[in-house]
Amino acid sequence: MSDAALAARDFFGGTLGGMAGILAGHPLDTAKTRLQAMQRFENAGTYKVLSDTARHEGARALYKGMSFPLYSTALCNAVVFCVQGAAERWLTSALGDRPQVTGFLGGCIAGLAQSPLVCAVDLVKTQRQVQFGEGRGPLQILRARAGAGLGFRGFFQGLGPTAVKECPSYGVYFLVYEESKRIFDQSKVPTVLATLGAGGLAGCFALGMIHPVDVVKSRIQSLPVEATAQEGFSFMLRGFGAAMQRAFVLNAATFGGYELAVAAWDKL
């Protein structure tokens, strides 16, 4: 298969995998963001945030902000899988057959490449998730950012923490997935369970190591600096439980969707 065909296959698989992950993990993502950014949930657990949100705002509130990332995150994932695949193939030709090294470095390159896009997506998603009631839609939020004297750079508030988060975490993400999948396959775990388990573990390892940076990014995108300064450094671990639950569910679905899409593509 040519490089162009492989890139198209990875783009297709990443798109469908990204959509599957968002559909599966968005309620837990809403809980994570509210735990990180809303002081009224400071001592709450994941279940309390989910139940309170559904009780006071309706079950639809658990999917606040999902329509925008459903499509935009699909694009982000398409970029990640496409760039990672191309980078890993290039690194393999340059460094030889060293899958751990090439997988990690390819993931780092992919994470960096998608940082500007994911920053803008997360800004809108975070603003939507911390609103009470219906609030503003994605286009209203973007117009408000542009009209607040911030100009085009207002769409990329939090880009620094996003790049710091995305680059190493995607390196770990692809490394852990491939190694976990190899171990599961050697243990004769059924393929579907191996894919879901490896994807979930990859998400937990990758996001767990950069959770404090993710909290900082959520605060930058949703709160004034003064609100963060009042709490000290303890806020950096808020929402960790919800983040790990979300990471497992979302990334199990992402890799499951990706592998199914790639398998379907190969049969065409």
In the chain, what are the domains? 3-266 (1.50.40.10)
Q: Is 42 exposed, middle or buried (0-12, 13-18, 19+ CB in 10 A)?
A: exposed
| Predicted model pTM | 0.78
DSSP letter assigned to residue 190: -
Residue 26 is predicted with a pLDDT of: 86
Long-range contacts of 176-181 (CB under 8 A, 24+ apart): 176/201, 176/202, 176/205, 176/206, 177/201, 177/202, 177/255, 178/99, 178/100, 178/103, 179/100
Residue 198 is predicted with a pLDDT of: 97
Contact 71, 11 (CB under 8 A): no
Q: Which residues of the chain have pLDDT under 50?
A: 225-228
Residue 45 is predicted with a pLDDT of: 72
Residue 206 is predicted with a pLDDT of: 92
Euclidean distance between CA atoms 45 and 35, whole angstroms: 8
